[in-house]
Chains A and B, each alone.
Chain A
């Protein structure tokens, strides 16, 4: 995948965006088709993989583990709140097999940047996940949700794909049931291994997704390919949830955006984000219903995983 672009290609893409005919024939607000599958990693509490068109491929694994609650140094009020909450710890790795630009140490900064964005969103007030419900023993033990994203192939639009895959993985995640008992003054946690008793993460449906809007010329597009990303002057990242509420916004890139275009872009991002969440949820429910119906009938349900699927 190129990291360089020629002036004539840049001009071609710019004019294409203006006339609403992009290089691959899409309109400005058309997304590539997304192929997804959940529950493909058996060792994780939840997992999902999404492929955007024939390009960007992201695998997300979610693991829930019991850990200590750390209050260290927080002031009284916040410390009090922190004592009753679980945590989300995110990491992103752009694998070198995805693109030559990620080889060696080059991707470290980019990985940290992406992980930070995820962290801010999921640990923040709009993260969706109910962190209070993840607390087991206030002040001592809680569930820690580890979200790990692995980018397996790159064809533009990494961050949006990571968020969509994370949402699918969180839908797929099951937290084992626990019961707390007091035994001679010490609190003991009992974890039930029964898979059927495990619960969904409370608040998974409020988890937001991201829409990246790229400003090219005087218009904006979503779901950019690598060449289009190289032509972008400025980018706006919109984090939006099911209800259409704006959970986060970030501008990057060296260009500038006029205020009127900015509000237009935010509006587009919100509409598209809400639609994506709706369609994703429908498909997640459909996939789960298919799996359950096959299980009830006693039929083999095969996860295609990595090698079987096109």
Chain B
């Protein structure tokens, strides 16, 4: 029975003079102060980024005449060679075709589902875009339509891919792959969408034996590792809601991974499988339930960013 009260602390993040961005790419302000985990320059809408014309402007910026590159969102400035963009702190997910997303069913209609994908509009999953149970590829029948809730009902979590866009900007999803479909055996956590980087694959297994599915829309599923072998999967069970038995140590590991991801998102650090593993290792010295405390989150993220810089320097 743990009860703890705290007074708020002053945030130590220092804001950097953004006008200092000059052409010297090597002289980038590596302002790695003890408390600043990543050299991050935060800007607000309307703030000048640079007046230097040699830079190209990316997302989140606009040119205010005559030649001032100004930020249009509140977020962190990112520079890749000559391209400057601003990554917003809080934003809705805007998808690209081929993105992997995790969504929750909000509505069931005649031949389609509406899916919440943390975007400005609900995504659409049509009955013709899912794999019907029975293993064999078959045409959907009227019976399938009538039993639509047998596949996905309201509240179900699923992993899908963005197939196309409708005229109004809503995403059209599909789960036509054995990797996609209903999610089970784990726990759900949500982070700001810009933190999830695009990688080759979004299904990761961490060294501790926990599966992490990173949705590009900021929804993440942490689950027990299920060893899949093609022939043994019961084709009728792909829409089952039944969880497997999860033992205590796995459950604790899942909680630990969830808390590590939460710590990374609190400090606005990028999330991919390597960084999650670093955070998981850093968290091992604390008890699981303490991982949500602000000072421990700070400690973990500092260790993670130290490892990241070592990795960049080629040491790790």
Contacts and interface: CB of A to CB of B under 8 A. Distances in A.
Contacts of A33: 4-6, 292-294
A271 interface: yes
B104 interface: yes
Contact of A310 (B11, B154, B188): B11
Nearest to B13: A310
Interface string A248-285: 00000000000000000000000110011001101100
Interface residues of B, number: 46
Given A4-B154, A279-B3, A54 B292 contact: yes
A271 B2 CA distance: 12
Interface stretch (B65-73, B137-145, B226-234, B244-252): B244-252
B289 A26 contact: yes
Contacts of B8: 35-37, 51, 304, 308-310
Interface string B87-110: 000000000000000001110000
Nearest to A305: B8
A54 B255 CA distance: 16
B167 interface: no
Which of B5, B11, B156, B289: most chain A Cβ within 10 A?
Answer: B5
A188 to B, nearest CB: 43
Nearest to A279: B3
Nearest to A307: B11
A37 B7 contact: yes
A31 B7 contact: no
Contacts of B243: 8, 11-12, 15
B3 A7 contact: no
Given A26-B289, A37-B8, A287-B7, A6 B246 contact: no
B83 to A, nearest CB: 31
B6 A24 contact: no
Given A30-B289, A54-B292, A310-B11, A19 B241 contact: no
A203 B77 CA distance: 53
B150 interface: no
A2 B254 CA distance: 20
Contacts of A15: 243, 246, 251
A59 to B, nearest CB: 13
B225 to A, nearest CB: 15
A30 B2 contact: yes
Nearest to B2: A30
B302 interface: no
A275 B266 CA distance: 29
Which of B7, B248, B256: most chain A Cβ within 10 A?
Answer: B7
Which of A23, A31, A271, A308: most chain B Cβ within 10 A?
Answer: A23
A34 B6 CA distance: 6
A12 B186 contact: yes
B4 A25 contact: no
Nearest to A2: B104
B166 interface: no
B7 to A, nearest CB: 6
Nearest to A282: B5
Contacts of B287: 25
A24 B157 contact: no
Contacts of B11: 308-310
Contacts of B294: 33, 35, 310
A279 B3 CA distance: 7
A86 B289 CA distance: 44
A19 B157 CA distance: 24
Contacts of A11: 241-243
A6 B292 CA distance: 25
A174 interface: no
Interface string A28-68: 01111111110000000000000101100000000000000
A276 B2 CA distance: 9
Interface of A: 2, 4-9, 11-12, 15-16, 19, 21-27, 29-37, 51, 53-54, 227, 271-272, 275-276, 279-280, 282-283, 287, 304, 308-310
Given A25-B287, A54-B266, 12 more contacts: A6-B155, A6-B156, A6-B183, A8-B243, A19-B248, A19-B251, A21-B252, A24-B258, A25-B256, A35-B8, A272-B3, A279-B5
27 contacts: A4-B154, A6-B157, A7-B155, A8-B184, A15-B246, A15-B251, A19-B251, A23-B255, A24-B255, A24-B258, A26-B289, A30-B2, A32-B292, A33-B6, A33-B293, A34-B4, A35-B6, A35-B8, A35-B294, A36-B8, A37-B7, A37-B8, A53-B292, A280-B5, A283-B6, A283-B7, A310-B294
